[in-house]
Structure 1
Amino acid sequence: MDLPYYHGPLTKRDCEILLLREGVDGNFLLRDSESVPGALCLCVSFKNLVYTYRIFKQKQGCYSMETAEDAQKQVFPSLKELISKYEKPHQGLVVHLLNPIMRTSRNLGWRRVKISQDDNYENGNNDYVRVLP
């Protein structure tokens, strides 16, 4: 994937470290989902938490984001267009996307790490959110 803010198999914990270290609302990145094979996660920081939205690739090569039950599902021809929409305020995310966290040579080597149940960090296991109407 040729997007500079796509981090591949970045763990949830490593993602939170990257997004929260500057304390800026609207930091975001894309990563592979750890729990849903083939899905992507759009992760965005807001008020010292990381909100994660699942993105699914459709059969036609388009992309859609998991939405609230009563919200109309939107389909985007590319990830770039999906991101572009959510860079605008009031599109259903907790905060609009402001600052992409780019891959660097230092974080290209991220790998999955085993997280024990004793590890503490801000978000819980069920913190995927849906786009609101």
Structure 2
Amino acid sequence: MEFPFFHGKISRKACEDLLCKKGKNGSYLIRESETVAGALCLCVLFEKVIYTYRIFREYEGCYKVQTSEGVPQKVFKTLKDLIYNYEKPNQGLVTKLRYPVKKTSSSRRSQRFKTGNDDIYDEIDESDYVDVLS
């Protein structure tokens, strides 16, 4: 399954530029974290500010969004489930996810998640994720 809002290894600055260009509250994309190996970042625009939420893949294969201490964590079987949940209001994000910022055709490059013993994505069935940008 391809996620058109997954931008792979783009910089925080490039992410901010894309979201600001969209300019609508609730615009979002997912990118790879620049600072935490194996983590993804859900980046959301609200009131001209970009909010970034880290997504971690657990060894069981489930996804969770990093929360503040004391806030219950939600666990999702797939990224699609995670996005679907946060498209609803009052789920813990600054605003609900409304407008996916899709990767542009000029920047598309086919690449599968790397596999290896130290890779957080080892347990992903490649049929779930077809094309990814780096």
Q: Which amino acid aligns with 1:36?
A: V
Deviations 1:65-88 (A, max 9, x none): 101111111110000000100000
Alignment of 1:44-55 (within 5 A): 44-55=44-55
Aligned to 1:10: 10
Q: Which amino acid aligns with 2:15?
A: C
1:5 & 1:48 partners in 2: Cα distance? 19
Q: CA deviation at 1:2?
A: 2.2
Match of 2:56, SS?
Answer: strand
| Pair 1:31 & 2:27 matched | no
Q: CA deviation at 1:22?
A: 3.0
2:29 & 2:17 partners in 1: Cα distance? 12
Moved over 2 A (4+): 106-109
1:51 & 1:102 partners in 2: Cα distance? 18
Gaps of 5+ in 1: 110-133
| Pair 1:41 & 2:41 matched | yes
Aligned to 1:73: 73
Aligned to 1:59: 59
Aligned-residue RMSD, C-alpha: 1.2
1:59 & 1:50 partners in 2: Cα distance? 29
Match of 1:28, SS?
Answer: strand
Match of 2:44, SS?
Answer: strand
Aligned to 2:92: 92
2:21 & 2:104 partners in 1: Cα distance? 15
TM-score by length of 1: 0.78
Matched residues, number: 109
Aligned to 2:102: 102
TM-score by length of 2: 0.78
